[in-house]
Amino acid sequence: MTRLVAQTPCAGLLPVDIGTVRVTEAEPGPMHLVAPFRGQAKAVSAVLKDALGVGLPAPNRSQSADGVRALWVAPGQALLIGAEPPDLPGAAVSDLSDAYAVVEIAGADAAEVLARLVPVDLGVLKRGHTARTLIGHMTGSVTRLGAARFEMMVFRSMAGSLVHELTEAMEAMAARRALAARPD
């Protein structure tokens, strides 16, 4: 009989350490898409805030409290991460817990590595800001978690491609640093 074993999207692919950058797989916990019905955004946000400490975030922003995050993903939609949603009769709620590969990239050259893959000015992305964008050839999101720390999400089926593209960009950045450090 075939035995199925659950695996994370990046099982066997991460962590990767090259140069000053480290990429690890994040374990975000439950993830639910919350899409308020027309005219219900304020009420849904209030219920989320009362129950979990986070409301619906503004465009390109995220909110966090006690390990729970709400991440803007599209107009009128947020991804609730790290907790089961309360009853939300004013919204459509979809469980996307297994839908995404979530990785964290951190290190002194993290922003420079991402600049090779993302057509977004990461300099304007402050902590808690997020962008839906291309990551290489994939659609995904990039969220700044700290000065030199970012979270990236792509569809689960793209996990291998994400790790491959990040690895290539990290290798190129490390090679560039090594060349710059060589004496003439």
List, for residues 98-129, the tens digit of each pLDDT value.
999 999 999 999 999 999 999 999 999 999 99
Token look-up 């955004």 returns 41
**Rounded distance between C-alpha atoms, residue 129 and residue 145, angstroms:** 8
The answer to whether residue 92 scores a pLDDT higher than 80 is yes
Cis before 15 (ω within 30): yes
pLDDT band at 63 (very low <50, low <70, confident <90, very high): very high
Alpha helices in 35-138 (DSSP H): 41-52, 110-115
**What are the start-end ranges of the E strands in 14-129?**
16-18, 21-25, 31-36, 62-65, 68-74, 77-81, 91-95, 100-107
Domain chopping of the chain, boundaries: 16-27+98-181, 31-95
pLDDT reported for residue 183? 82
The answer to whether residue 157 scores a pLDDT higher than 80 is yes
Q: Specify whether the CB–CB gap between 24 and 103 falls below 8 A.
A: yes
In CATH terms, are 16-27+98-181 and 31-95 the same topology?
no
Q: Is the pTM of this model over 0.95?
A: no
35: tokens are 């899409």
Sheet holding 130-135, edge to edge: 16-18, 21-25, 100-107, 149-155, 138-146, 130-135
Percentage of the chain modeled with pLDDT above 70 = 99
pLDDT band at 1 (very low <50, low <70, confident <90, very high): confident
Q: What is the CA radius of gyration of the chain?
A: 18
Element (H, E) at 169: helix 159-181
CATH number of 16-27+98-181: 3.30.1360.120
107: tokens are 């290190």
The correct answer on CATH 3.30.70 for the domain covering 31-95 is yes
143-166 average pLDDT score: 97
